[in-house]
Amino acid sequence: MAERGLPLRAGPKEILSKKTCVAMANSDVKPKSISRAKKWSEEIENLYRFQQAGYRDEIEYKQVKQVSMVDRWPETGYVKKLQRRDNTFYYYNKQRECDDKEVHKVKIYAY
């Protein structure tokens, strides 16, 4: 077990907080606050991928694209494929793509 009681390979369900789960049930939710990432983590990696594709996070992606599941790499749990707003696709590798120099650009939204 890692810190905060999460398994070492926490999937999307383990990473999401209770507030996020409640926010996902609401169809038109807006974030209450925003902060910047300070250091890399698996959660930051996935946020980086969503934000590259033009979305705040997984919640906004699911709302806009009307999907219930996001394609993920089974080995790592990272996002595998996202559809942008212009209907083109981003395909991501299994490995980390968010370099240390990019981490500070990632926004963390709280609901």
Prediction pTM value: 0.75
How many angstroms separate the CA atoms of 1 and 8, rounded?
A: 6
Confidence at residue 26, expressed as pLDDT on a 0 to 100 scale? 56
Per-residue pLDDT tens over the stretch 41-93 = 999 999 999 999 999 999 999 999 999 999 999 999 999 999 999 999 999 99
pLDDT tens, residue by residue, 1-32: 444 444 444 444 444 444 444 445 556 788 99
Residues 6+ positions from 38 with CB-CB distance below 8 Å: 103, 104
Nearest-angstrom CA–CA distance, 55 and 101 = 20
**CA distances, 82 to each of 32, 72, 91, 101 (Å):** 25, 10, 7, 23
